[in-house]
């Protein structure tokens, strides 16, 4: 059984999609063992606790990136975590963290990367009059939203779209895409072990 941790900073709807998939047996031989937030007020924390998960707040405030990440890494290692899913986690990871879990950290981003990396990708899509956007799950490396792509899904941009309406339609697809991506990576992990 692979052991998954999810890192969040806010709402946590992708975290909930992953937990629901795991709890209804839709993840391939894996369980979610821990949800970590760097923000004490993240709404996702309550949603994780309601679903019976262990939650930890490891606050970024007052810690350097290296200190913060090393505290997260000890929590992951003491729970024997195999795979880490970033789900709206808003802090860039240190090189040491990425190195320690290379190929085992996933992120979801609401655009068709390499288009529109970084902040406000839905607004970037509208500002450039893109006809389609979408979402991407990728491995995390040292680049910003630039690691190897696992899977993507297109979402058409409508003429009357606002940032909000486009974000809602992309988010619906994110919730389906993330569990699929995790299953692809789990298949690889299970082949190796």
Active site residue 109: yes
Of the pair 88, 147, the CB lying nearest ligand GRF is at 88
Q: Looking only at residues 12 through 31 of this chain, which bind ligand GRF when binding is defined by CB under 6 A?
A: 12-14
Interacting stretch for ligand GRF, rule CB under 6 A, among 4-12, 25-33, 48-56, 68-76?
4-12
Nearest to 139 by CA among 97, 185, 105: 105
Q: Using a CB cutoff of 8 Å and minimum separation of 24, what contacts does 160-164 make?
A: 161/126, 162/126, 163/120, 163/122, 163/123, 163/126
Q: Which residue is nearest to ligand GRF (CB)?
A: 88
Please give the Cα distance from 161 to 164 (Å, whole number). 8
- 3 state SS of 185: helix
Q: How far is the CB of 78 from ligand GRF (least distance, A)?
A: 25
Q: In the range 46-105, which residues lie near ligand GRF by CB under 6 A?
A: 87-88
Binding status of residue 174 toward ligand GRF by CB under 6 A: yes
Separation between Cα atoms, residue 31 and residue 49, nearest integer Å: 15
Residues marked as catalytic = 109
Q: Which residues bind ligand GRF (CB under 6 A)?
A: 8, 10-14, 87-88, 108-110, 171, 174
């Amino acid at each position: 059984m692979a052991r998954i941790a999810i890192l969040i900073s806010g709402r946590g709807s992708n975290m909930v999609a992953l937990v629901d998939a795991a709890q209804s047996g839709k993840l391939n031989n894996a369980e979610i063992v821990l949800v970590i937030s760097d923000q004490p007020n993240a709404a996702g924390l309550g949603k994780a606790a309601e679903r019976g998960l262990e939650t930890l707040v490891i606050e970024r405030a007052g810690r350097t990136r290296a200190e913060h990440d090393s505290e997260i890494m000890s929590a992951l290692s003491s729970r024997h975590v195999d795979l880490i899913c970033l789900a709206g986690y808003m802090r860039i990871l240190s090189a040491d963290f990425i190195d320690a879990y290379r190929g085992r950290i996933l992120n979801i981003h609401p655009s068709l990367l390499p288009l529109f990396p970084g902040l406000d990708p839905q607004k970037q899509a509208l500002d450039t009059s893109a006809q389609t956007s979408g979402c991407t799950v990728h491995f995390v490396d040292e680049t910003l939203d630039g690691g190897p792509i696992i899977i993507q899904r297109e979402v058409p941009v409508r003429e009357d779209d606002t940032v909000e309406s486009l974000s809602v339609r992309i988010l619906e697809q994110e919730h389906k895409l993330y569990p699929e991506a995790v299953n692809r990576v789990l298949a690889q992990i299970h082949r190796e072990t």
